[in-house]
Structure 1
């Protein structure tokens, strides 16, 4: 299971997410880096955790459509593959991000006009380039495309539209250190489609949370605050990376 560090960007800074309430977000503080500069933060996370991916949320783009292309270009140069949510609702914006060097474009349910667009993205850019983000608040899908659907209904439509990579994101738990509630949902999704790549995020507190999520057969977990606050250390992650599922069970029992 991959550790996927998260950078939330707003007006050229890394900011600290709190329960998805963006009006209360503030510049990030960290034990790993002295500033909230995106490149400095990316380099610090790269050095400390050696991640295979980083997740970038461009909140300016998500909230008002103003993509921070210059910042994203600088982050691409850091050398870690990026999965970027920039409020994408058109093929043109997705293609521009790919041309910039972004490895995977995230299509967020929050900003998607209708679910049938997912098929156009996967057809035009290929399923390996597209990650669909099932954005939840208190377990309920958000955005006009969801239209009161159950999360499993949304996932089913995504699969029919060619989605092969999925994020299950609980916005209400971001930055709260209250634990990750999405494990059972992710486990049920993986049971339906074992070949579906599934990440989750929102509420990761400490190493024990990673152990529990490992048992859900997840492919990645997205983490921000607990890395910056030292609740999950580089040594923690290095030890976790070497465990298989049986060893994870023993670690939890201990």
Structure 2
């Protein structure tokens, strides 16, 4: 199982949120997003997860900052947040980003999302399925839908998507453990990237048993609950 350290950017700063709520913002001013990316790369990360919270919330995006990181570090970048049109997606994918994460576009503009999937291939497009009580949330986790997680997975795998970033919003940033029951249920659907709730090395060991391909870890690393090296070792065992 791959360990992917996370960098969330808000107002051009490195931050972490709890349950996706901007009012819970914790700023980590000792590190800039660029410095954080360099640190994770130097400590062994082969992929870094970057979310542009400004773009997700409809504010000025940090695209130039993210592309700068892509050209400075050797690790691959998986980038999401506010990618709602083809032009934005193309700029990232053509500018050095390995994978983009789409959330609202496959639901609100499915033809555009399929065009990206066909142009760049399924390994470079990750579909974000952020859910609360089993139902998909969109637009920076601010808008609820009546789409069930399991039904969405069936629908989108049928359209050719293979990679899914699945976050239980109620677990995100809580450090109280991931939603392993759901991950065990959905692992057969495709290449699942787990996100949210990891607070201890034991959580990584539990996630590995669910069959997911990777897990994104943010707050626990920044709070020194464990090191990236310890996380990667737990994922290998």
**TM-score, normalization: structure 2?**
0.89
Give the aligned partner of residue 202 of structure 2: 208
Q: 1:146 to 1:109 in 2, by over 3 A?
A: farther
| Root-mean-square deviation over aligned CA pairs | 2.2
The structure with more strand, counted as a fraction of residues: 2
**Match of residue 89, structure 1, among 84, 87, 90:** 84
1:56 paired to 2:50: yes
Gaps of 5+ in 2: none
> Which structure has the larger Rg?
1
> What are the superposed Cα offsets for residues 65-106 of structure 1, whole Å, 9 maximum, x if unpaired?
532122102211122100100311222111011121100011
Distance in 2 of aligned mates of 1:53 and 1:47: 11
Kept after mapping to 1: 8 A contact 2:7/2:49? yes
Deviation of 1:232 (Å): 1.9
Give the aligned partner of residue 73 of structure 1: 67
1:26 paired to 2:11: no
Kept after mapping to 2: 8 A contact 1:60/1:67? yes
Distance in 2 of aligned mates of 1:147 and 1:19: 17
Kept after mapping to 1: 8 A contact 2:47/2:77? yes
Q: Secondary structure at the match of 2:211?
A: coil
Deviation of 1:121 (Å): 2.5
Kept after mapping to 2: 8 A contact 1:3/1:223? yes
Q: 1:151 to 1:115 in 2, by over 3 A?
A: farther
Q: 1:234 to 1:219 in 2, by over 3 A?
A: same
Give the aligned partner of residue 183 of structure 2: 186
Distance in 2 of aligned mates of 1:187 and 1:117: 31
Give the aligned partner of residue 168 of structure 1: 166
**Match of residue 137, structure 1, among 107, 132, 137:** 132
Kept after mapping to 1: 8 A contact 2:106/2:113? no
Give the aligned partner of residue 99 of structure 1: 94
Kept after mapping to 2: 8 A contact 1:122/1:161? no
**Match of residue 192, structure 2, among 187, 190, 198:** 198
Distance in 2 of aligned mates of 1:147 and 1:90: 20
Deviation of 1:189 (Å): 2.2
Aligned pairs for 1:214-229 within 5 A: 214-229=208-223
Kept after mapping to 1: 8 A contact 2:52/2:81? yes
